[in-house]
Amino acid sequence: MRVYSGMFFRLEEHLDRFLESAKTLGLKVPLSRSELRRRLKKELKDSGKKEAFVRLTLAGDEIFVVVSERVHPPEMYLKGIVLKTTVVRRNPSEAHHPEAKSTSCLNQVLATLDPAPSGTYEILFLNQEGYLTEVRIGNFFMVEKVSDRHGGLPLLITPPAVGLLNGVTRRFVIECARQGKIPVEERPVTRHELFNADEAFLTNTSWEILPIREVDGRKIGSALPGPLTRKLQTLFRQGVERETLNGKAKKSAH
């Protein structure tokens, strides 16, 4: 999870996913939700960091909290990144639980071992039906060419949250889009659609919104980052600032 200006962002949603994942995987969490919250805030305070990346892990009957920093090169956001579709299919829900976040990463490891061209930054999974799902550690969005279907507005599309990890950042980006009057569809997406998209980007807690330049040797769009991606990046930062400032105000009131 992410800390901005000393405040956890969407802490309760991260705790929801942590507890739900543990239940699905049949793991007993040794601390209550309020105890987890206190532990996280104590570890953050002891670290002295105001901007941080915090990992909460349950292993056996022990809870581990790691407070660190993740800084990505600015050129990634200016030039975009390169993706490769892997021949390794995403684990189907009937065989695994991709909706639960766990340290069971064999699917991702096998995809990483699949040879990729030099410069490939992330690996994109297809499901058993051949539709796009997610990358190894993030969710995927694309922007459809402007058409009359949505009143001449660009359409933001993301695969439905079935058979993939429904990221906290993914949900927040959808919120930002709807607040910004950007039409959003959650539906199956093919590689053909992605190759012909106007824009595409990845999301996760660390990246926030990361533009995609190329997929499987096909250039995506004509501008980097694209206009809708830039708008969403702005809405994202405004939303973060609004929520963290409100959090500070509530804390001061107490």
Please write the tens of the pLDDT for every residue from 105-124.
999 999 999 999 999 999 99
The pLDDT of residue 93 is 83
Q: Is 2 left (phi over 0), alpha (psi -120 to 50) or beta?
A: beta
**Whether 122 and 10 share a structural domain:** no
Report how many domains make up the chain: 2
| Domain that includes residue 32, residue range | 2-71
59-70 pLDDT, tens digit each: 999 999 999 999
Q: Is the pLDDT of residue 150 over 80?
A: no
The verdict on 200 and 86 lying in the same domain is yes
Asked whether residue 248 is domain-assigned, the answer is no
Q: Is residue 207 part of a domain?
A: yes
- Structural domain contains residue 48: yes
Give CA–CA dist 222/241, Å, rounded: 30
Q: Does the pLDDT of residue 138 top 90, yes or no? A: yes
Q: Are residues 80 and 183 in the same domain?
A: yes
Summarize pLDDT for 1-32 with one digit per residue, the tens. Answer: 999 999 999 999 999 999 999 999 999 999 99
Quick one: average pLDDT of 162-187?
A: 95
Q: Which residues pair with 157 in a beta bridge?
A: 142, 185
Residue 121 maps to which CATH number? 3.20.10.10
Instruction: Give the pLDDT band (50/70/90) at residue 153.
Output: confident
Whether residues 142 and 64 share a domain: the answer is: no
The CA distance from 162 to 150, in Å, is: 25
pTM assigned to the model: 0.93
Residue 138 and residue 33 share a domain: no
Q: List, for residues 222-249, the tens digit of each pLDDT value.
A: 889 999 999 999 999 999 999 998 766 5
At residue 146 the predicted structure's pLDDT band, cuts being 50, 70 and 90, is low
Residues 90-109 have pLDDT tens digits of 988 888 888 899 998 999 99
Strand extents, DSSP E, the chain: 2-4, 7-8, 52-59, 62-68, 81-85, 120-126, 132-135, 139-144, 155-158, 184-186, 199-204, 208-215, 218-219
* pLDDT class of 251 with cuts at 50, 70, 90: low
Average of pLDDT values for 80-84?
97
